[in-house]
Amino acid sequence: MRDGNQALIDPMNAARKLRFFEQLVAVGLKEIEVAFPSASDTDFNFVRKLIEERRIPADVTIEVLTQSRPDLIARTFESLRGAPRAIVHLYNPIAPQWRRIVFGMSRAEIKEIALAGTRQIRALADAHPETTWIYQYSPETFSLAELDFALEVCDAVSAIWRPTPARKMIINLPSTVECTSANVYADQIEWMHRRLARRDSIVLSVHPHNDRGTAVASAELAVLAGADRVEGCLFGNGERTGNVDLVTLALNLDRQGIPSGLNFTDMAAVRDCVEACNQLPVDVFHPYAFTPAAPATPPAGAAIHG
């Protein structure tokens, strides 16, 4: 709802957001990134609507995104006032191209951005114990960063948050721009999985993008390499060529004997909702969601109906 929505020519209004949220709940998603509340009044007000109208099921946790700036973090917590449970997701880019060209900062300065944001979120969470807080940190551009630096930043962040096996935090490792084959990304995930401090207190998450067209493969291999969680969008919507498609990923895993926990038995309803809310068509040949139609020319292959 957040990464996909920001890529739309006409971002969703409140009514479309609510319909989309209810569809995500219906297919069985339990953690839903609903907004970037400090980025717009539309997103802020939508979070307030979900909370004030009690539209969040007891077994669903909403997630919101923020950059590591004091004013944006404060606004984010304001949007979540009264939520029974919430994930606060902080991110900052760490790869050398972003350090050098975008920020003009050293490793130490980029690391401090992550730590300063984490300290503020820790303090605000402690000040509002009525909400069960889950912290998520993403070293944005992870797949283009030096692994030793990614590990250094993530370990320093988790040291501030102090997760436990009973109260875990999420470390989310994105391929912000997909630049390698799926096996390389999986190797990066396995390297982190084997070395992260406090690993028994961390949910290791991945966030694959689809620039090379292999986001689903990247996610599948990342799960085999140690990831516990995948972030994605229905039918792969998202900036540039999109995020990993949760429909294809879930049904691939189900058919390999790995339960996804998601229910796409009413695929027509899911497809109709996504098309209406995103105002983008789902391809008629999309895996698992194709639209049956009579061929314009006689079938010429044994697998035409396979």
Q: Residues of 2-29 as b/e, b for ≥16 C-beta within 10 angstroms?
A: bbbbbbbeebbeeebbbebbebbbebeb
pLDDT, tens digit, 9 for 90 and up, residues 52-85 = 999 999 999 999 999 999 999 999 999 999 999 9
pLDDT, tens digit, 9 for 90 and up, residues 125-165 = 999 999 999 999 999 999 999 999 999 999 999 999 999 99
Using 50, 70 and 90 to split pLDDT, how confident is the model at 89?
Answer: very high
Q: What is the mean pLDDT of residues 213-237?
A: 96
DSSP the chain: --TTGGG-SS---HHHHHHHHHHHHHHT-SEEEEE-TTT-HHHHHHHHHHHHTT-S-TT-EEEEEEES-HHHHHHHHHHTTT-SEEEEEEEEE-SHHIIIIII---HHHHHHHHHHHHHHHHHHHHH-TTSEEEEEEEEETGGGS-HHHHHHHHHHHHHHH---SSS-EEEEEEESS--S-HHHHHHHHHHHHHH-TTGGGEEEEEEEB-TTS-HHHHHHHHHHTT--EE--BGGG--STT-B-BHHHHHHHHHHTT-------S-HHHHHHHHHHHH--PPPTT-TTT------SS---STTTT-
- Please give the angle made by the CA atoms of 184, 201 and 88, to the nearest 5 degrees: 85
Q: According to the model, what pLDDT value does residue 209 have?
A: 96
Using 50, 70 and 90 to split pLDDT, how confident is the model at 241?
Answer: confident
88 contact partners, CB below 8 Å, separation of at least 6: 63, 64, 66, 76, 77, 80, 121, 125, 133, 134, 135, 136
Per domain, the residue ranges of the chain are 5-278
Position 177, amino acid: V
Fold adopted by 5-278: TIM Barrel (3.20.20)
> CA-to-CA distance for 21 and 55, rounded, in angstroms?
9
pLDDT, tens digit, 9 for 90 and up, residues 244-275 = 999 999 999 999 998 999 999 999 999 999 99
> CA-to-CA distance for 43 and 59, rounded, in angstroms?
22
Using 50, 70 and 90 to split pLDDT, how confident is the model at 232?
Answer: very high
